[in-house]
Chain A
Amino acid sequence: MSDTLKIINLHVAVDDKPILRGVDLTIRRGEVHALMGPNGSGKSTLGFAIMGHPGYRVTEGRVELNGQDLLAMEPHERARAGLFMAFQRPVAIPGVKLADFLRHAASNIRRPDRKEGEELIPMREFRKELYAKMDQLRMDRDFARRYVNDGFSGGEMKRAEILQMAILRPKFAILDETDSGLDVDAVRLASQSIAEIGGAEMGILIITHHDKLLEHNQPHYTHVMLGGRIVETAGPGMARSGPELAAELHRHGYDRIRAAYPEAAADEQAMQRASGRAEAAAV
């Protein structure tokens, strides 16, 4: 049986404000799922909640990896179980070299029962592997010695995320707007890179606004999120294919979706008013 990531009736709140209102989604290893939707519809929230960010509180529902209850695990345990998220805004860790950080991460993920202070993958062996992957991704080897995301350009950050994914080889990867902030060429390169590092062997959830990132990773399924739930899905055996729906949304936007799902559209508006008020209060 292939590996399965199962999201069942997931409700998530941030600062006591409900964001996700019952998301169901099943991803099998080897599948590419695109998750599209307007800003603020809850796409990134889904990613953070699955990965276990403490600011995203699950109020109802389940997330399972091969039947294991992911929600009972700490983020590092989820990572060791085979989950990965490429961040939309990767976080800078000044003073920590990318190579050192990744060696530590890879040691933990390849040996999930590794205790703190136990040995890491030998430096020499790891460096060889890292350089090979960097060459494959056409990244300058100097990157390995730079501090994690510190002073990286937008494009460099996203490529560093893909590099991490290539080294950590997760069962399931969530790519949170890996295309945002990149120009067309950079998006194409990122898309190609995901395919090259063996994306086909993972289960991938690509959160995106555009279909460019999907160019080299044709989605088996495309989901549309609105007002904190998935309102429409396209894929095998359905009225339309994944790429067809993605192309439509990219070209024509979400007006048709809003019209077709008025209840979700109303929730979307309520969420945006709430976040607008929060922003106004913050200013």
Chain B
Amino acid sequence: MATDVKPEAPLGFEEINKYDFRNAERYVFKSRKGLDAEIVHQISDMKNEPDWMRQFRLRALDIFLAKPLPTWGGEIKLDFQDIYYYIKPTDRQGHTWEEVPEEIKRTFDRLGIPEAEKRVLAGVKAQYESEVVYGSLRDELAAQGVLFTDTDTAVREYPDLVREYFATVIPPTDNKFAALNSAVWSGGSFIYVPKGVKIDFPLQAYFRINAQNMGQFERTLIIVDEGAQVHYVEGCTAPMYTTESLHSAVVEIIVKRHARCRYTTIQNWANNIYNLVTKRAVAYEGALMEWIDGNLGSRLTMKYPSVYMLEPGARGEILSIAFASAGQHQDAGAKVVHCAPDTASRIVSKSISKCGGRSSYRGLVKIERGARRCRSNVVCDALILDPQSRSDTYPYIEIEEQDVAVGHEASVSRIGEEQLFYLMSRGLTEAEASTMIVAGFIEPLVRELPMEYAVEMNKLIQLQMEGSVG
């Protein structure tokens, strides 16, 4: 029998778990390791899903099994049969606060994370106890017709809307990990903003912690209807402490005519994680889609937020920061596809490599036939902090029209002796000076973040920089 409920079951992740958490006192539901049709049926059963979703998952599974691993990007050493694909979210909490390693607790303290949030981040508690605070906000949003819930709930409560848009932006056939996510997805956010409704505060910033959003294979779907506006903030800068080794999310966004969507992500994964995420948005006439994407930690991140501009006047902006330290490979970038005339895009990518870390910018600018008078500008800057570290740039440009303006600038720099000496001559230690230079390097992106995230981002850079100088 594949499903079992057993007492005192360890989660079984010790072999990949850097901090050696143990849970001894809880009953846990989990599927067995590995992936096949039986597991997918179980997931569907557990969620009590409509049949169309079950069939969708099964189809995706076939695609996943048939597709090869990407031959580019980073090295993926994963045994797909050695992974748990479904753990009931409420059972994720398994350990006690006392068991959380000191290193993680210290980081929380340094970041100034409130007590209640710390426990959620450390996986001790599943839900942030703040329904009272958030309740009124939820009501306010609901009054405007905004739908905001986890995607599992959305499948049950808003089946028509979900079915209309789900997997239309990123079909399972897109890539192996999109197929994997489609087969086993769980959690994630569903947002629908009705025509003309403008939400003037960053959404997730107020609903900051929600364990269901932090799943392993979360699936997010955002629909911004005509003339509407939303800024969604995903994740947070605190170290994501999970016991799983693979995180593979799918984020689909539909930005309708003259609507605007900004999606901000700051992720700081533990060093054992493969973070292989597909994020894509489609933008219609006069719409604006902005991705702001910060990637820290993980063993390998492969993530290229993209914007498909489908109608005239659509715009796409992608700003990304990657920080690669020892044992880490950040293969991050962006894709913009101009499918209509008079569309414009901008990509700004900043990467920092230190202590032997490797960062790559991988980007695509594509201008389809007929997409005349398009503009696209790409700037990617890399900062390398020591000779052991590495940075690469892989810009792909495909243009099928004459009448377009496409610019690409790339720079690679090292922290200069003259900059260090200048700052040190003003009383800064070498470490402080390096940190200041790095913070300055990413400042153009950090200032786009909501205030509290910007502050945390800077503190995080400080933490990352500690001990990086002789």
Contact = CB atoms under 8 A, between A and B. Distances in A.
Contact of A91 (B110, B419, B443): B419
Contacts of B421: 51-54, 75, 91
A104 B428 CA distance: 8
Given A91-B419, A116-B431, A101 B426 contact: yes
A164 B425 CA distance: 11
A189 to B, nearest CB: 23
Nearest to B447: A95
Given A51-B425, A87-B422, A117-B462, A104 B417 contact: no
A104 B429 contact: no
B422 A91 contact: yes
Interface in A51-71: 51-55
Interface string A17-53: 0000000000000000000000000000000000111
A74 B430 contact: yes
B100 interface: no
Given A54-B417, A104-B432, A116-B432, A79 B426 contact: yes
Nearest to B432: A116
Interface string A142-166: 0000010000000000000000100
B440 A108 contact: no
Interface residues of A, number: 32
A150 to B, nearest CB: 9
B424 A79 contact: yes
Interface in A212-239: none
Contacts of A109: 426-427
Interface in A72-98: 74-76, 78-80, 84-85, 87, 90-91, 93-96
B180 interface: no
A149 B426 CA distance: 14
A105 B439 contact: no
* Most chain A beta-carbon contacts within 10 A, residue among B430, B431, B433, B440: B440
B427 A108 contact: yes
Nearest to A78: B425
A116 B443 CA distance: 20
Contacts of A206: none
A187 interface: no
Contacts of A94: 440-441, 443
A246 interface: no
Contacts of B419: 91, 93
Most chain B CB atoms below 10 A, which of A51, A54, A87, A95: A95
Contacts of B429: 74, 76, 116
B425 A79 contact: yes
A51 B427 CA distance: 11
A96 B439 contact: yes
A65 B444 CA distance: 41
Contact of B426 (A53, A117, A168): A168
B442 interface: yes
Interface in B420-470: 421-433, 436-437, 439-444, 462, 466
Nearest to A167: B426
B98 interface: no
Given A55-B417, A147-B440, A93 B430 contact: no
A93 B422 contact: yes
A45 B466 CA distance: 32
Contacts of B431: 116
A76 B440 contact: no
B164 interface: no
B364 to A, nearest CB: 27
Nearest to B416: A91
B469 to A, nearest CB: 10
B4 interface: no
Interface string A96-130: 10000110110011001000110000000000000
Nearest to A93: B440
Contacts of A84: 425
B428 A96 contact: no
Interface string B52-66: 000000000000000
Contact of A105 (B110, B418, B427, B442): B427
A46 to B, nearest CB: 15
Contact of B428 (A54, A55, A108): A108
- Greatest chain B CB density within 10 A among A84, A94, A112 is at A94
A75 B441 contact: no
A96 B424 contact: no
Given A94-B440, A147-B440, A105 B430 contact: no
B424 A93 contact: no
A26 B466 CA distance: 39
12 contacts: A51-B421, A75-B421, A76-B425, A78-B425, A79-B427, A85-B425, A90-B422, A95-B440, A96-B443, A105-B426, A116-B431, A168-B426
Interface of A: 51-55, 74-76, 78-80, 84-85, 87, 90-91, 93-96, 101-102, 104-105, 108-109, 112, 116-117, 147, 164, 168
Given A79-B424, A79-B427, A84-B425, 11 more contacts: A75-B424, A76-B427, A79-B425, A87-B425, A91-B421, A93-B436, A94-B441, A104-B428, A108-B428, A116-B466, A164-B426
